[in-house]
Structure 1
């Protein structure tokens, strides 16, 4: 039996085809070149190992340039900028993220239960210092004459903020609820206070101006404060809102600033107690934070926050 074979190399030379003639019939047979395949597998294995090692080394060098507590871009260089926002709690449930309406029936515990529970969860880290890493050992009882030292954080003791306490259901059962305000954190931002009765802006509410003058007369050491005002947005809202009290003070004390991302830091809070809102109507409320370097824009909600309140 005679055999006549001719080798034909493929384009990539990964395989060889033998064309053999057996008794006058042409029969193709594929023959793998094991050595070539092994060389290619070894090459790509080493290639990807080296590539992964190079990527890991570059990432290691990159992270050596970063401080876990200090952002690389700060203030005007950052996306956040230098104008802190104002937020409020409780917020509507996550299924309605665009809503800012607090709506409940004051006589129905199951109905206002969500709002009380939401506030309780938000304030848990303030009530239990151990929940925030480092807060226990770094906590310091600050006041206007005792600022925190390096690495220390000021305490925010909300336990005595009656009637805005968890034990009192934040007064939601009496249809005169408490709403908590907080200022967003911006690393290194230092407020420029309205700490004088001179130069108060024209757009500042007269009632807040009177408060600042009273503080200047009786407690001048407390003037370094980011002041807060909350009022109805429209004349009807002002009438329906009724009186408001600020607990424990009307603003955020200056000793909480600047924020330097110290371990255990919690943002200062101010609670507003809406004492006698009119029931059955939606009340539009606008709260503003006041410092010389906080700008306000109602449309963009810069330096302020909008919310609605409705109690049936």
Structure 2
């Protein structure tokens, strides 16, 4: 190889290497100069005056946008009442047919279950259920502190409904064997389950009474109860609990209701008054058969309560098992 040829090859290599390394350096230099150009005094391609102008523009723009949203929200909230729903009864999604709820509910990890189950009379075995009832009933025990009901409570009776703006008291001492002091009878293998009617604003029950034709599917025990009830106490949304199937009817045993077998009419209509608490019925299963799952169905009874087992309207289902 001649000197001239060697020299040419070296120059060509230098030229390639220079192009390879200088390219990224130039790009990096351009990016740095774009972020901050000391010579022209710009940041991201804008000088101080330009940044001030764009800052003022967007400040005014977002302030106007926030004011417009705030004004729309203010107008919207003027159409709403914090206590009274805009859509009621037939116009609402809830409708006019209330359902029932029960307590205690299974723990959150078994949220889809409706089984109340425990083993024997040992406290640790049934503790989760009594603790759940303690928590549920806590608001009923200290109404003045937890709900501000102190000024609002009225001692209601069938012949003296609450005045406007007042709410009826729910005296948990009337639950007798189904109180915290009695462990809700779980220690005697005769547990208590509390039933409540779901709230529907403005709903007024149409009561059954002696002169009304009672439905053919109403339990015989409840029919007898209504027939011997004093006329002044017939304004009641009645409650019945039975075994769902023939085997369940045989195993469920006697049932007691506290403080009465239904919800007195003076608790209705629900109008979201301050301190209102839903009335409760304690269902005491006095001697259920042990070691077997018992399917229980409780129903609420009034002219304008329809029952649908599939949709669980007007009723509630749960299972009971004491090992």
Asked whether the two chains share a fold, i.e. TM above 0.5, the reply is: yes
1:170 alignment partner in structure 2: 184
Alignment pair present for 1:100 and 2:78: no
Q: Secondary structure at the match of 1:46?
A: helix
Kept in 1, the 8 Å contact 2:299–2:315? The answer is yes
Counterpart of 2:65? 51
1:284 paired residue among 295, 299, 318: 295
Worse-matched range after superposition: 58-67 or 246-255: 58-67
Instruction: Answer 1 or 2: which has greater strand percent.
Output: 1
> Cα distance, 1:36 vs. partner?
3.3
Cα shift at 1:197: 4.3
Instruction: Give the one of 169, 180, 187 matched to 1:155.
Output: 169
Is 1:190 the counterpart of 2:222? The answer is no
The separation in 2 between residues aligned to 1:256 and 1:160, in whole angstroms, is: 16
What whole-Å deviation, never above 9, does each CA across 1:133-182 have from its counterpart, x for those lacking one?
33111001001001001110000001132111100100000000111000
What's the CA shift for 1:289?
0.3
Structure 2 unaligned regions, length at least 5: 1-33, 35-43
TM-score by length of 1: 0.87
- Match of 2:7? none
Among residues 99, 117, 123, which one is paired with 2:137 in the alignment? 123
Deviations 1:72-110 (A, max 9, x none): 111111111111110000000011111100000232210
Query: 1:257-283: per-residue Cα shift (whole Å, max 9, x none)?
Result: 000100010000000110000000000
Contact 1:106 1:172 in 2 (8 A): no
Give the match's secondary structure for 1:150: coil
Point out the structure with the larger helix share: 2
1:7 corresponding residue in structure 2: none
Q: Which residue of 2 aligns with 1:210?
A: 224
- Structure 2 CA distance, aligned partners of 1:268 and 1:289? 13
In structure 1, C-alpha distance between the alignment counterparts of 2:49 and 2:111, rounded to whole Å: 62
How many angstroms apart in 2 are the aligned matches of 1:33 and 1:146? 80
Q: Name the SS of the counterpart of 1:226 in structure 2.
A: strand
1:218-233 maps to which residues of 2 (within 5 A)?
219-233=230-244
* Secondary structure at the counterpart of residue 53 of structure 1: helix
RMSD of aligned residue pairs (Cα, Å)? 1.5
Gaps of 5+ in 1: 1-14, 16-29
Aligned partners of 2:99 and 2:197 also within 8 Å: yes
In structure 1, how many angstroms separate the alpha carbons of the residues matched to 2:213 and 2:52?
81
Distance in 1 separating the partners of 2:185 and 2:45: 85
- Aligned in 2, Cα 1:169/1:47: closer, same or farther, shift over 3 Å? same
CA distance in 1, matches of 2:168, 2:45: 77
Does the CA-based 8 Å contact 1:127-1:159 persist in structure 2? Answer: no
Residue of structure 2 equivalent to 1:293: 304
1:67 maps to 2:81: yes
Partner of 1:110: 124
Paired position in structure 1 for 2:286: 275
> 2-side partners of 1:36 and 1:256: how far apart?
69
Alpha-carbon distance between aligned partners in 1 of 2:245 and 2:199, rounded to the nearest angstrom: 30
Residue matched to 2:103: 89
- Aligned-pair distance for 1:195? 2.1
How many residue pairs were aligned?
282
CA contact (8 A) 2:139 2:147 kept: no
Which whole-Å CA distance do the structure 1 matches of 2:261 and 2:147 have between them?
Answer: 29
Query: TM-score, normalized by length of structure 2?
Result: 0.84
In 2: Cα distance, 1:31 partner to 1:123 partner: 67
Aligned residue for 1:22? Answer: none
Q: In structure 2, the residue corresponding to 1:136 is in which secondary structure?
A: coil
